[in-house]
Structure 1
Amino acid sequence: MENFNRLNDLYFKKLLGDKKRKNLTLSFLNGILNKDDENCFTDITFLDKDNEPLTLDGKLSKLDIRADLNDGTQVDIEVQVCPFKLMAERSLYYWSKMYSEQLEKGAEYKKLKKAIAINLLAFDYLEDEQDWHNIYNLLNVKSYNKLTDHIEIHFLELPKFTLKDMRKIRASEAWIAYFSGKYSKEELEEIAMTTPAIKEAVEFEDTFLQNKIERRAYEQREKAIRDYYSYMSAFKEEGLEQGLQEGITLGMKKANINTAINLLKLGVDVDTIVKGTGLSIQDVEALKIKIK
C-alpha cells in the first residue's frame, strides 16, 4: 500500500505492543537505548493500560505501550502524530505516574526501578536540537553530574532523521528509517540485511494490509486524522479572519475616539461629534467628562 502510515496507532500497537511479536519490541528498545549483546534486554511483559480509543474516530494522537523489562525497568512508548506544544510536560507527567505506580502503600523506596519514557514524534518539537534522537536525565546544572539514573526521557523526531550510510546502519536507525516512511520497500529490504527485525516488520505489514478488517480499521483511523487536520486548519483560518476584522474595528474605534477628543477640545457640540465619528452619545459624553 503506497504511503502506508506506520505510525497509525492501530498498526503500531499491533506491531510492537503484542506479546506474539515481543522480539520486535525488544529489538526496537535495545536499538533506541543503545544496548549491546552483553547488556541488552532479553524479555518484556506488556502491561494492559486500556488506552485504545473508544471509537475509531476518537482519540487520535496518543498511543501508550507500557511494559516491564527483564531487569525491572519500566518503559513507556508513545507515538504522537499531531503537533503538541506541551509534549515535555505530558511526557514527564506520564513518566511520574509510571514511576510512582511501582510502589504499593508502605513499600520501601529501594524497590523503585528505572523508568524510561520514549516519545516517537511525527513532527519537529525541540527547536534548539538538530539531532533526531535526544535523551534527557536529571543533572546538576553546574557540574552536570547525574543525580540518579532512574529517570530517562527520549524524544525521537522523525522529520529530522536522515540515513547517512546504509552499510553502517545501527538498529535504532533501522527502526526510525522504517517508521519514517521515507524509504522504499527495496531500501527497507537492504536495511533488513543488517537488521533482521525489519524484515519481519515488513512481512507483518503485508499480512496486516491483506486483512480486510484490519485494513478497514486502519483507513478509518487515517480518515479521522485527516479530518482533524482539516477542521483545525478551517478553525485557524476562521480565527485569523475574525481577529483581523476585530483588529480593524478596534483600530477604527480608537481613531474615532481620538478625533472626538480633539473636536471636544475645540468646542464642537456633542451631536455633531456623534454624527462625524459614529460614536454613541454616551461615549462622547463620557469623553467630555474625562477631558475636563
Structure 2
Amino acid sequence: MENFNRLNDLYFKKLLGDKKRKNLTLSFLNGILNKDDKNCFTDISFLDKDNEPLTLDGKLSKLDIRADLNDGTQVDIEVQVCPFKLMAERSLYYWSKMYSEQLEKGAEYKKLKKAIAINLLAFDYLEDEQDWHNIYNLLNEKSHKKLTDHIEIHFLELPKFTLKDMRKIRASEAWIAYFSGKYSKKELEEIAMTTPAIKEAVEFEDTFLQDKIERRAYEQREKAIRDYYSYMSAFKEEGLQQGLQQGLQQGLQQGLQQGIRKVAINLLKANMSIDFISQNTGLNEQEILHLQQLITK
C-alpha cells in the first residue's frame, strides 16, 4: 500500500505495544537508547491502555505506550502526528506522572527507578537543533554534570532524518527510517539485512494490511486525521478572512473619522460657526470645541 502511515495510532500500537511482538519494542528501545549486548534491556511489561477512548483532541494526535523494563526502568513512547507547540511541557508532565506513580503511599524514595520519555514526532519541533535525535537530562548549569540519571527525555524528529550510509546503519536509524516513510520496500529490505527486526516489522505490516478489518480501522483513523487537518485549515482561513474584514472596516472607519476631523479643522480656520460645522460633519459641539482648542494651542 503506497503512502502507508506507520505512525497511525492503531498500527503503531499493534506493532510496538503488543506483548506478542515485544521483541520489536525491545529492539526499538535498545536502538534509540544506544544499548549494546552487555547492557541491553531483555524484557518489557506493557501498561494496558486499550480501554482509553479515541478522541479528536487527544488520541487522534497523541499516542503513548507505557511500559516497565526488566531492570525497573519506566518508559513512555509517545507518537505525536499533529504539530504541538508545548511538547516539552507536556512531555515533562507525563514524565513526572510516570516517575511519581512508581511509589505507593509511605514507600521510600530509594525505590524510585529511572524514567525515560521518548517523543516520536512527525514534525519539526526543536528549531535550534539540526540533529533528528536530541536527549535532555537534569544538569548543573556551570559544570554540566548530571544531578541524577533518573530523568531522560528524547525527541525524535522524523522530518530531520536522512540516512547517510545504508551499509553502516545503526538500529536506531533503521527504526527511524522505517517510521519516516521516506524509504521504499526494497530499501527497507536492504536495511533489514543489518537489523532483522525491521524485516519482521515489514512482514507484520503486510499481514496487517491484508486483514480487511484491521485495514478498515486504519483507513477510518486516517480519514479522521485528514478531516481534522481540513477542519483546522478551514477555521484558520475563515478566521483570517474575518480578521481582514474587521481590519478593513476598522481602517476605513478610522480613515473616515480622520477625514471628518480634518474638514472640521479647516472650517474652524475659515471662521465658520460651530452650528455650520456640526451640520456638515456630524460632529457634536463638544468635539468641535475640542478641535478648536487644539488649533489655538
Q: Report if TM-score (shorter chain) is over 0.5.
A: yes
Deviations 1:50-99 (A, max 9, x none): 46434699831110100000111000001011111111111111111101
1:57–1:140 CA distance, 2 compared to 1 (3 A): closer
TM-score for both structures, normalised by structure 2? 0.91
- For residue 7 of structure 1, what is the aligned residue in structure 2? 7
After superposition, the CA RMSD in angstroms is 1.8
Match of 2:279 among 245, 261, 271: 271
SS in 1 for 2:152: strand
- For residue 120 of structure 2, what is the aligned residue in structure 1? 120
Point out the more displaced range, 121-130 or 247-256: 247-256
What code does the residue aligned with 1:221 have?
A: R
Deviations 1:189-220 (A, max 9, x none): 00000000000000000110011000000000
| Offset, 1:265 | 3.4
| Offset, 1:135 | 0.5
TM-score for both structures, normalised by structure 1? 0.92
Q: 1:122 touches 1:159 (CA, 8 Å); kept in 2?
A: yes
> Is 2:95 the counterpart of 1:95?
yes
Q: 2:54 touches 2:60 (CA, 8 Å); kept in 1?
A: no
SS in 1 for 2:116: strand
The CA distance in 1 between the partners of 2:290 and 2:96, in whole Å, is 56
1:55–1:263 CA distance, 2 compared to 1 (3 A): closer
- For residue 235 of structure 2, what is the aligned residue in structure 1? 235
SS in 2 for 1:24: helix
What code does the residue aligned with 2:80 have?
A: Q
Point out the more displaced range, 53-62 or 205-214: 53-62
- For residue 174 of structure 2, what is the aligned residue in structure 1? 174
Q: 1:57 touches 1:220 (CA, 8 Å); kept in 2?
A: no
Gaps spanning 5+ residues in structure 2: where?
A: 269-275
1:153–1:57 CA distance, 2 compared to 1 (3 A): closer
The CA distance in 1 between the partners of 2:45 and 2:202, in whole Å, is 23
The CA distance in 1 between the partners of 2:286 and 2:38, in whole Å, is 81
Q: 1:169 touches 1:194 (CA, 8 Å); kept in 2?
A: yes
> Is 2:185 the counterpart of 1:185?
yes
> Is 2:31 the counterpart of 1:31?
yes
- For residue 272 of structure 2, what is the aligned residue in structure 1? none
Deviations 1:26-45 (A, max 9, x none): 00000000000000000000
Gaps spanning 5+ residues in structure 1: where?
A: 275-280
What code does the residue aligned with 1:234 have?
A: A
The CA distance in 2 between the partners of 1:3 and 1:19, in whole Å, is 27
Identity %: 85
